[in-house]
Amino acid sequence: MSDVFNNELFEAFASASDNVYIYVCDMKTDISRWSKASVDYFGLDSEYLENAASVWEEHVHPDDRAMYNADIMGVFSGKKSRHDCQYRARNRRGEYVWVECKGSVIWDKDGSPKIFAGLMTRLDGQNKYDTLTGFLTTHELRHYDFASLEGTALLIGIDGFRKIVGNYGYNTGDALLVEFSRRIRELGRPEWKLFRFGGDEFLIVAFGAGQDELKEFFEKVGRSVDAVKMSDGRVISLSVSAGGVSFPKNANTREGLINRLEHSMEYAKNSCRGTLVYFSDEIAKKHERNQILREDLKNSIRNGFQGFELYFQPFVGAKSHRIEGCECLLRWKGEQIKDSYPMEFIKALEEYGGIREVGFWVMEQAIQQQVAWRKRYGELQVSFNVSYQQFMDETFEERLMAYVDRYGVDPSYMIIELTESCQVDVPQELAALFDRLRGRGFKVALDDFGTAYASLEMLKYLHVDYIKVEHSFVRELSQPGHDIDHVIINNLLDMCRRLGYGSIVEGVENSKVADIVGEMDVTLLQGYYYSRPVCRTDFEQLLNEDQETPAR
Ligand code: C2E
Ligand code: CA
């Protein structure tokens, strides 16, 4: 008999709780072991069962069987790694009780399913109301048949709630949630059903109400939390986003409704914070693409970063008119998605955490490239982009130094660009890291400078080598009516000079802009006028041409 069953851990977990039943299945033999408590409570024949999925099916409520079967068959056929559903199961006394059943598969070295282990939580009698807000728990949604009812559901949440908790602490977070739920209750109709969805998200099921009414409600809630006065007198301003779905038009099952609400909410949070977005075909398509994108990216990473490539865009010396370096810009082509722009796939990587590995890959490639070019082309400054999330990775510095040792790069030829500067909320830590990196000889640049208020704020804390002036100020400099951009750039450059920092001006798209910017006190220029980002061989071609051109 498989030794997964003869495990003291199994015994320990099995007796850990009265409401939770555990099971483990050897998928090669289809024999499973169930905890004693589950045998007793559900009246099973023995602790060991053969073909348990179909034995258990007999215990599942006939109305829930199709859903249960679909999910569990996915696991046993090797298509899915996780089982996760809620259904009614018959106990020894013949009563049906709600259970939440979750399990996951452990795979064999050859990729076949080996062990399936999980737990079943009894939901009866408990969890009806959320203890903090008094709203119903989502478990209570099971009472509603969305196919035969009509109305609109909203999933509404506080923007950046985690950050608020980070700034003000858990107690204030809880107090805000109570206040937020109170406003929802006050502004909604009494017949609407209110659920705490988890964290800062609340679900409103408005039977008989249309999208317009819910939009009006959403706007009222938004206005009411614009300035929330706390018991200690502090005033906190909240912004809220929501996803909305009409039932049964857009969803006629509980799962479908929740899914679509989540997709719409995600869309609202990502693209137009502070608004209510109703489910549409466009959202469905976007969500589907995002799912494929993630899978595709994970596959690429698993296959040794296949599909990832660095492109290079020259930095041209404002005085020398020669290529003095380049920025490494990431490109990616997946197996399925072949047309993704950096803005899209880098965002996806950041959302699920894949940026960590990819970021280290970029770092290694950039360093190797600098070393290879140094031998052939002399001194070139090579920059690569690092987001705040990457910088804060505990192993960032260690990995960087390991690559320096491995490839023997001189750090003074590497520029590290900090992107998305506006999201920085621990400048002291970042400042210390920048100082250490600069101490080791690296150059550090603040990217997209001028786009966010925080950029200026950051200069108070951070010491850098370059400031990169964002291309939106630069691109249209040569066109009439852009005097203000002149003033902004001149002042930014003046500030750089006074602080002793170099400057890189991005977005030089034509000769007129190149001339205008060339007159200013700039260190390096970058833009389509000199070259778009290009692959390695094309960049080397540019370097060769540059070397053959006589000095101006
Ligand atoms: P960024 O760092 O601001 O990069 C400059 C972007 O401006 C590049 O877009 C580049 O192609 C574009 N650009 C350059 N010259 C011009 C011009 O004259 N006119 C216009 N309109 N655009 C110009 P790209 O390559 O699509 O990259 C977009 C963003 O993706 C980058 O913005 C950067 O934030 C991010 N990114 C790219 N590679 C990496 C990476 O390896 N790691 C991280 N974390 N982010 C990266
Ligand atoms: Ca950059």
pLDDT in tens, 282-310: 999 999 999 999 999 999 999 999 999 99
Kindly state the average pLDDT of the residues 362-389.
95
Q: Indicate whether residue 448 lines ligand 1 (CB < 6 A).
A: yes
CA of 228 to the centre of ligand 2 (A): 38
Q: Which residue has the higher pLDDT, 65 or 67?
A: 65
CA of 364 to the centre of ligand 1 (A): 19
Question: Helices 170-187 and 211-224, interaxial angle, to 10°?
Answer: 140
Distance between CA atoms of residues 317 and 504, nearest Å: 9
Q: Is the pTM of this model over 0.85?
A: no
Predicted confidence band of residue 423 (pLDDT cuts 50, 70, 90): low
Residue nearest to atom 20 of ligand 1 (CA): 507
C-alpha triplet 462, 522, 346: angle, nearest 5°: 55
Residues 321-366: pLDDT tens digits? 999 999 999 999 999 999 999 999 999 999 889 999 999 999 999 9
Q: Indicate whether residue 383 lines ligand 1 (CB < 6 A).
A: no
Q: Indicate whether residue 235 lines ligand 1 (CB < 6 A).
A: no
Ligand 1: nearest atom to the Cα of 448: 3
Kindly state the average pLDDT of the residues 426-450.
90
Highest mean predicted confidence (pLDDT) among 63-72, 109-118, 531-540: 531-540
Q: Over 90: is that where the pLDDT of 312 sits?
A: yes
Q: Is 423 helix (H, G, I), strand (E, B) or coil?
A: helix
CA of 470 to the centre of ligand 2 (A): 9
**How high is the pLDDT of residue 504?**
96
Q: Indicate whether residue 385 lines ligand 1 (CB < 6 A).
A: yes
* Average predicted confidence (pLDDT) for the chain: 90
Q: Are 415 and 381 in contact (CB under 8 A)?
A: yes
Question: 500, 403, 492, 426: which is closest to 434 by C-alpha?
Answer: 426
CA of 510 to the centre of ligand 2 (A): 20
Predicted confidence band of residue 412 (pLDDT cuts 50, 70, 90): very high
Above pLDDT 90, what percent of the chain?
61
CA of 525 to the centre of ligand 1 (A): 14
**Which residues is 316 bridged to in the sheet?**
323, 525
Ligand 1: nearest atom to the Cα of 506: 15
Q: Are 371 and 409 in contact (CB under 8 A)?
A: yes
- Return the residue matching tokens 């080791």: 440
CA of 483 to the centre of ligand 1 (A): 25
Question: 193, 184, 269, 261: which is closest to 221 by C-alpha?
Answer: 184
**How high is the pLDDT of residue 2?**
59
Q: Which residue has the higher pLDDT, 87 or 391?
A: 391
Residue nearest to atom 17 of ligand 1 (CA): 507
**How high is the pLDDT of residue 126?**
61
Above pLDDT 70, what percent of the chain?
96
Helix or strand run (H / E) with residue 53: helix 52-57
**How high is the pLDDT of residue 268?**
94
Ligand 1: nearest atom to the Cα of 528: 18
**How high is the pLDDT of residue 370?**
98
Lowest mean pLDDT among 5-19, 135-149, 532-546: 5-19
**How high is the pLDDT of residue 432?**
94
CA of 287 to the centre of ligand 1 (A): 24
Residues 263-284: pLDDT tens digits? 999 999 988 889 999 999 999 9
CA of 420 to the centre of ligand 2 (A): 9
Q: Which residue has the higher pLDDT, 5 or 180?
A: 180
Predicted confidence band of residue 320 (pLDDT cuts 50, 70, 90): very high
**To the nearest 10°, the Cα dihedral for 324, 535, 450, 418?**
-90
Q: Are 373 and 380 in contact (CB under 8 A)?
A: yes
CA of 526 to the centre of ligand 2 (A): 11
Question: 303, 290, 287: which is closest to 352 by C-alpha?
Answer: 290
Ligand 1: nearest atom to the Cα of 311: 25
In a mutational test of the pocket of ligand 1, which residue from 297, 327, 386, 419 has the highest number of ligand atoms less than 8 Å from its CB?
A: 419
Question: 382, 445, 446: which is closest to 409 by C-alpha?
Answer: 382
Q: Over 70: is that where the pLDDT of 124 sits?
A: no
Q: Are 35 and 21 in contact (CB under 8 A)?
A: yes
Ligand 1: nearest atom to the Cα of 355: 44
Ligand 1: nearest atom to the Cα of 470: 3
Distance between CA atoms of residues 227 and 158, nearest Å: 13
Residue nearest to atom 10 of ligand 1 (CA): 533
Kindly state the average pLDDT of the residues 49-64.
87
Q: Indicate whether residue 506 lines ligand 1 (CB < 6 A).
A: yes
Distance between CA atoms of residues 42 and 39, nearest Å: 6
**How high is the pLDDT of residue 111?**
82
Residues around ligand 2, an ion, CB closer than 5 A: 385, 417, 447
Q: Over 90: is that where the pLDDT of 67 sits?
A: no
Question: 384, 258, 366, 311: which is closest to 542 by C-alpha?
Answer: 311
**How high is the pLDDT of residue 401?**
97
Lowest mean pLDDT among 72-81, 173-182, 422-431, 540-549: 422-431
Kindly state the average pLDDT of the residues 28-50.
91
In a mutational test of the pocket of ligand 1, which residue from 385, 415, 535 has the highest number of ligand atoms less than 8 Å from its CB?
A: 385
C-alpha triplet 393, 457, 520: angle, nearest 5°: 105
Rg (CA), the chain: 29
**How high is the pLDDT of residue 468?**
93
Q: Which residue has the higher pLDDT, 127 or 167?
A: 167
Q: Which residue has the higher pLDDT, 132 or 516?
A: 516
CA of 313 to the centre of ligand 1 (A): 9
**How high is the pLDDT of residue 429?**
86
CA of 448 to the centre of ligand 1 (A): 10
Residue nearest to atom 42 of ligand 1 (CA): 385
Distance between CA atoms of residues 225 and 236, nearest Å: 8
Task: Count CB neighbours of 191 within 10 A.
Answer: 10
Residue nearest to atom 32 of ligand 1 (CA): 419
**How high is the pLDDT of residue 427?**
77
Q: Over 80: is that where the pLDDT of 238 sits?
A: yes
Question: 268, 240, 103, 230: which is closest to 184 by C-alpha?
Answer: 240
